[in-house]
Amino acid sequence: MSSEIFDKVQRVLTALQEQNIERAQDLEAFRVKYVGSKNEIKALFGEIKNVANERKKEFGQLLNDVKQAAEEKYNHWKEKLEGESGGEDDIAIDLTAPTAAIPLGSRHPVSIILNRIIHIFERIGFTVAEEREIEDDWHNFTAMNTPEDHPARDMQDTFYLKDSTNELLRTHTSSVQARIMKNQKPPIRIIAPGRVYRNETISSRSHCQFHQVEGLYIDKDVSFADLKQTLLYFAREMYGPKTDIRLRPSFFPFTEPSAEMDVYWGLNNEDDYRITKGTGWLEILGCGMVDPNVLENCGIDPDVYSGFAFGMGIERQAMLQHKITDIRQLFQNDTRFLKQFSGVI
Ligand code: PHE
């Protein structure tokens, strides 16, 4: 019987000597097993009653040696591991490990283009003017020289607020022209970005809401040449320094003369043929000299001042630059689509 107990103690000693300690968790397991208040060695002291009297002393001695070996090993590793982790934490930290990536959001493609346009015009002294999306008939149409019977006023094109013939969702950012001219004295040099609404059937090419940027410059002696040069500057900043533009005569009620500006996109591949309908030219904006009637409607003397205005859509430019083929993707808030623009500023 006695020798069996001696063997048992011996096995505990061997086990504790062989116990592998590498991390704080290992040390804690060792402590619980051999040093803590309910450790295995303590239990063995209880066995002393089973040892023959003449060997009791020897047994006690052996147990004390085992106890000491456990304590020494524990203290040795405790010191060592605490030294490694700076004594702060139980877990050793690798300060050279790369951090977890912080997920970044992405800008909406419409915002990306909008911001680029704003910065281009800010560099030549235009300031941003933002105005309401719910407008009244006067600012959206009447002040802009749009006759009562103009088809744009038709219920088909304009969203009117319920039971109202006066309040509507603005159909273009030109309404900002009227708001600014009524409240500011020339020289006026603003660009007005924002949402506009038209009652159109939604398809891959058109939507009932989209964005425009309006430009307005009013001062003494502003000429069509100023308009042309400003637009050429814009086109070359936006589409590359060698970009050509052309102005085609057009009609808007609020400008006289009026034009549409195309930029030369090129005909290098099949996509270019499709996008430009085989011409190589892309229509980007409408523009013209502010009609004297508009100046007068807004309290600016057309005999003293003149000015130009232009307005352009944003979605189409965003679609061209990012090869987006369906305008609806810009309004669906599908993060799988939007994530593709992360990192683009
Ligand atoms: N408001 C016009 C449109 O929505 C664009 C435009 C703005 C044309 C300013 C001329 C001058 O199509």
When pLDDT is averaged across residues 24-44 and rounded to a whole number, the result is: 90
Eight-class DSSP state of 332: S
CA 243 to CA 280: how far, in whole Å? Answer: 12
Ligand 1 center–CA 288 separation, angstroms = 9
- Give the tens place of pLDDT for each residue, 226-274: 999 999 999 999 999 999 999 999 999 999 999 999 999 989 999 889 8
- Give the tens place of pLDDT for each residue, 137-194: 999 999 999 988 877 677 668 999 998 889 999 999 999 999 999 999 999 999 999 9
- Give the tens place of pLDDT for each residue, 310-320: 999 999 999 98
Lowest mean pLDDT among 93-107, 175-189, 272-286, 295-309: 93-107
| DSSP strand pairing (188-197 vs 127-128) | parallel
Instruction: Please give the sequence-ordered ranges of beta strands (E in DSSP) within the chain, or none if there are none.
Output: 127-128, 134-136, 167-169, 188-197, 209-219, 245-252, 255-264, 281-290, 306-313
Ligand 1 center–CA 143 separation, angstroms = 14
- At residue 71 the predicted structure's pLDDT band, cuts being 50, 70 and 90, is very high
Given the CA of residue 196, which atom of ligand 1 is nearest to it? 4
Looking at residue 82, its pLDDT comes to 83
- At residue 293 the predicted structure's pLDDT band, cuts being 50, 70 and 90, is very high
Given the CA of residue 285, which atom of ligand 1 is nearest to it? 5
When pLDDT is averaged across residues 46-69 and rounded to a whole number, the result is: 90
Helix/strand/coil for 135: strand
Q: Give, in degrees to the nearest 5, the angle at Cα 73 between 67 and 76.
A: 135
From 117, 139, 158, 172, give the residue whose CB has the most ligand 1 atoms within 8 Å, as the site to mutate.
Answer: 172
CA 325 to CA 277: how far, in whole Å? Answer: 15
194 within ligand 1 shell (Cβ under 6 A):
no
**Residues facing 188 on adjacent strands:** 218
* Nearest by Cα to 344 from 120, 118, 117, 116: 116
Give one word for 95, left, alpha or beta, with left for phi > 0 and alpha for psi -120 to 50: alpha
284 within ligand 1 shell (Cβ under 6 A):
no
Residues 284/286/289/291 CA torsion (nearest 10 deg): -170
Query: 309 near 215, Cβ under 8 Å?
Result: yes
Looking at residue 52, its pLDDT comes to 87
Closest residue CA from atom 12 of ligand 1: 286
Ligand 1 center–CA 193 separation, angstroms = 13
* Nearest by Cα to 172 from 118, 135, 219: 135
Is 60 exceeded by the pLDDT of residue 83?
yes
- Residue-by-residue DSSP string for 207-218: -SEEEEEEEEEE
Ligand 1 center–CA 44 separation, angstroms = 96
> Which residue type is seen at 322?
H
Q: Mention every residue, 6+ apart, whose C-beta is less than 8 A from residue 121.
A: 191, 215, 234
**Residues facing 258 on adjacent strands:** 250, 288
From 146, 170, 171, 174, give the residue whose CB has the most ligand 1 atoms within 8 Å, as the site to mutate.
Answer: 174
